[in-house]
């Protein structure tokens, strides 16, 4: 976990509406957390289901999931602090721990007793920190290739390779962003995760989401490295998802994660034909696995 990171007073901010210093896209609202406007899109009724996006993304990364999820759940897609619609200038705090604390304040401020949490990539790390710090707020976890699992194998060749691979990707991204060619930075980062040509296969809307958030990219290199004891301490029923075409490090680390807490974490599920952006690559299969897991929690 992040050393020295203090948890803020969850009551700060008080919730409610706040006027943001940037434009409000159609269909979203702002939640006032200590004066910061957290953007979110809410649809549907039922048990709350909160969607947490990954690096260089925002609430729009879940647009393909909204129809299926909101048919059965009160579905809330968050934009984490400094993500679109804010155009971040790089000033101010930006960390997985801060985003987890923001999410906890949001859940409480919205008057929710607890929520099912879906987290993708870096958003998966946010969801895990949320579950460890605020277990009473997390009814269940759905983690799609969460970041931060390199720490499970710190002294093994596989663990060192995984950590080096991730560090190299973000170091190159930071260099490309600093050089000013944002399209090149986005293309090469996406291709490093999804394979050659992954950027070109993305719909224009998905490319725009990444370009709108590319300024947060270098800061996304920060993440906690979860220990085996922390994984064993997860109290929420947990579903793990990986893409069939994703970099092998995800399967290796998530298999090891499940072995740390077999009582709460289900065996890894593979989304066919998908890479790291599995919710876009094969949304029907992704949605079906999430909804099947959630339905089982209801039966429990």
CATH number, domain containing residue 85: 3.40.50.1820
Residue 264: both structure tokens together: 């709460």
| Cα dihedral 50→51→55→58 (10° resolution) | -100
Give me the pLDDT at residue 134, please: 98
What residues does 191 pair with on adjacent strands? Answer: none
Give me the pLDDT at residue 11, please: 32
Taking the C-alpha atoms of residue 18 and residue 10, their distance in angstroms, rounded to an integer, is: 17
215 found inside a domain: no
Q: Which domain holds residue 258?
A: 29-153+223-299
Rounded to 5 degrees, φ, ψ at 137 are: -90, -10
The pairing of strands 269-271 and 238-243 is parallel
> In this structure, what DSSP letter does residue 265 have?
B
- The pLDDT-based confidence of 300 (bands split at 50, 70, 90) is very low
- CA 179 and chain centroid, separation: 27
Rounded to 5 degrees, φ, ψ at 105 are: -65, -35
Residue 55: both structure tokens together: 């690096």
Taking the C-alpha atoms of residue 7 and residue 266, their distance in angstroms, rounded to an integer, is: 29
- Buried/exposed code over 56-85 (b: 16+ C-beta within 10 A; e: otherwise): bbbbbbbbbbbebbbebbbbbbbbbbbbbb
Question: pLDDT tens digits, residue range 180-227?
Answer: 899 999 999 889 888 899 999 888 998 999 999 999 988 988 888 899
Q: How many domains are contained in the chain? A: 1
Residue 139: both structure tokens together: 């009814």
Question: pLDDT tens digits, residue range 241-278?
Answer: 999 999 888 998 999 999 999 999 999 999 999 999 99
217 found inside a domain: no
16 found inside a domain: no
Give me the pLDDT at residue 123, please: 98
**Whole-model pTM over 0.85:** yes
165 found inside a domain: no
- Report the pLDDT averaged over residues 38-54: 97
SS3 call for 238: strand
158 found inside a domain: no
286 found inside a domain: yes
């Amino acid at each position: 976990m992040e050393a020295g990171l203090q948890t803020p007073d969850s009551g700060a901010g008080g919730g409610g509406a706040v006027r943001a210093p940037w434009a409000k896209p159609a269909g979203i609202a702002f939640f006032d957390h200590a004066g910061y406007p957290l953007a979110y899109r809410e649809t549907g009724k039922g048990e709350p289901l909160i969607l947490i996006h990954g690096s260089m993304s925002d609430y729009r990364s879940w647009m393909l999931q909204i129809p299926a999820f909101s048919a059965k759940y009160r579905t809330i897609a968050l934009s984490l602090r400094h993500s679109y619609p804010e155009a971040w200038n790089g000033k101010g705090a930006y960390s997985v721990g801060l985003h987890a604390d923001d999410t906890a304040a949001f859940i409480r401020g919205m008057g929710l007793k607890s929520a099912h949490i879906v987290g993708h990539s870096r958003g998966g790390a946010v969801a895990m920190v949320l579950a460890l710090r605020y277990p009473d707020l997390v009814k269940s976890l759905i983690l799609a290739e969460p970041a931060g699992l390199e720490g499970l194998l710190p002294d093994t060749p596989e663990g060192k390779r995984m950590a080096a691979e991730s560090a190299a990707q973000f170091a190159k991204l930071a260099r490309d962003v600093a050089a000013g060619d944002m399209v090149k930075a986005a293309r090469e980062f996406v291709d490093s995760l999804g394979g050659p040509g992954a950027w070109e296969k993305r719909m224009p809307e998905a490319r725009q989401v990444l370009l709108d958030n590319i300024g947060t990219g270098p800061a996304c290199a920060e993440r906690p490295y979860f220990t085996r004891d922390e994984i064993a301490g997860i109290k929420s029923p947990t579903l793990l998802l990986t893409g069939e075409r994703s970099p092998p490090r995800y399967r290796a680390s998530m298999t090891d994660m499940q072995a740390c807490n077999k009582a709460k974490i289900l065996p890894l599920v593979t989304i066919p034909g998908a890479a790291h952006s599995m919710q876009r690559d094969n949304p029907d299969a992704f949605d079906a696995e999430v909804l099947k897991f959630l339905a089982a929690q209801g039966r429990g």
